[in-house]
């Protein structure tokens, strides 16, 4: 898998949800903070995005898309002063779908909204460096793949057919990738550091692909630099400047993130998880894992965390 696919896959948990809703003015919805990410697409009409206090409202027009990658609480309304009503999802995280409401009037606002469940303990900087919200205004001829994904999802929600239960989650995954791609491609030209720039650097991208394809391999900085035709020193400087970690530090971090996903998503023996993370010793793996997550691999698999140390205690001390 490539870096973007890996970054999304490792954070994803559960099942994504989406809904098609119709609103007639005056209307306003308040969305609570969440551990996941969400999006809103205006298929028809206008609306205002109301970020948390301190940020200005953002006017949205037909075709505009907003991605909220960090699950911040926010409002959505026909105008900034409209009172907001709490939007309450179902226990499974889904939202009410108005596909059977009937014809949509010309004065109505038609929304396509969705949410993704994410594990923030396995957050990749590709996602964590995103701003609180990403606004992608509609422009004629812009982002054709993103628009195609929106059209397909909207049509499936408006008129569910046999196979929709399998198709909608796949379309939601497709939409998320296109949203992220669109933002990073737009940002790349304006940034000289960070992951937008890293994904646009051929030498760094080749090294990242290699690390993600085979994290268990005992890579050297020389080998990674050679993939992009750079010397060890030149590659190390460039990688560290763009990614924010030295090459082998990033490899160690990614191994632990991969191990966390394997522990939570299956029942592989600890020995196998350690090997896939590049460790021949279960003890060495467990020690490195606890440094990253603050708890032992077995406890992490069960969803447990270690209790905080008593005040004044030092690691390894006994009471």
| pLDDT value of residue 103 | 67
Q: Which fold has domain 3-188?
A: Jelly Rolls (2.60.120)
| pLDDT value of residue 287 | 93
**In the chain, where the domains are located:** 3-188, 201-301
Rg of the chain over all Cα atoms, to the nearest angstrom: 22
| pLDDT value of residue 150 | 93
Burial of 17 (0-12, 13-18, 19+ CB in 10 A): buried
| pLDDT value of residue 126 | 84
First-to-last alpha carbon distance for the chain, in angstroms, is: 48
| pLDDT value of residue 109 | 92
| pLDDT value of residue 40 | 95
| pLDDT value of residue 311 | 38
Structure tokens given for 55: 């940020």
The bridge status of strand 85-86 relative to strand 28-31 is parallel
| Alpha carbon distance 210, 263 (integer Å) | 23
| pLDDT value of residue 310 | 40
Q: Which fold has domain 201-301?
A: Arc Repressor Mutant, subunit A (1.10.10)
Per-residue pLDDT of the chain (319 residues; tens, 9 = 90+): 588 888 888 888 888 888 888 899 999 999 999 888 999 999 999 999 999 877 899 999 999 999 999 999 999 999 999 999 998 877 666 666 665 566 677 778 999 999 998 888 788 888 888 899 999 998 877 889 999 999 999 999 888 899 999 999 999 999 999 999 888 877 765 666 778 788 889 999 999 999 999 999 999 999 999 999 999 999 999 999 999 999 999 999 999 999 998 998 878 999 999 999 999 999 999 999 999 889 999 998 888 665 544 434 333 333 2
CB half-sphere exposure, 21, CA atoms < 13 A: 17
| Alpha carbon distance 24, 17 (integer Å) | 23
């Amino acid at each position: 898998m490539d870096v973007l696919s890996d970054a999304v896959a490792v954070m994803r948990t559960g099942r994504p949800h989406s809904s098609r809703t119709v609103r007639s003015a005056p209307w306003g919805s308040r969305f609570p903070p969440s551990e996941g990410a969400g999006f809103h697409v205006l298929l028809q009409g206008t609306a205002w995005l109301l970020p948390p206090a301190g940020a200005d409202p953002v006017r949205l027009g037909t075709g505009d898309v907003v991605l909220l990658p960090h699950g911040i609480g926010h409002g959505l309304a026909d105008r900034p002063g409209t009172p907001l009503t709490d939007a309450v999802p179902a226990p499974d995280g889904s939202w009410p779908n108005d596909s059977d409401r009937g014809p949509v009037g010309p004065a109505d606002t038609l929304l396509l909204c969705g949410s993704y469940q994410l594990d923030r303990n396995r957050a990749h900087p590709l996602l964590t460096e995103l701003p609180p919200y990403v606004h992608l205004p509609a422009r004629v001829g812009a982002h054709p793949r993103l628009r195609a994904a929106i059209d397909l999802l909207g049509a499936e929600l408006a008129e569910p057919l046999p196979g929709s239960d399998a198709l909608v989650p796949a379309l939601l995954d497709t939409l998320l990738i296109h949203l992220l791609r669109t933002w990073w491609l737009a940002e790349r030209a304006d940034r000289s550091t960070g992951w937008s720039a890293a994904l646009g650097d051929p030498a760094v991208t080749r090294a990242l692909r290699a690390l993600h394809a085979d994290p268990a391999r005992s890579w050297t900085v020389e080998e990674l630099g050679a993939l992009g035709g750079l010397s060890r020193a030149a590659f190390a400087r460039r990688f560290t400047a763009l990614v924010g970690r030295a090459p082998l530090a990033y490899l160690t971090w990614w191994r632990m993130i991969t191990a966390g996903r394997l522990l939570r998503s299956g029942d592989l023996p600890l020995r196998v998880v350690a090997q896939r993370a590049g460790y021949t010793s279960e003890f060495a793996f467990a020690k490195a894992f606890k440094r990253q997550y603050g708890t032992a691999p077995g406890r992490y698999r069960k969803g447990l965390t270690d209790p905080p140390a008593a005040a004044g205690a030092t690691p390894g001390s006994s009471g």
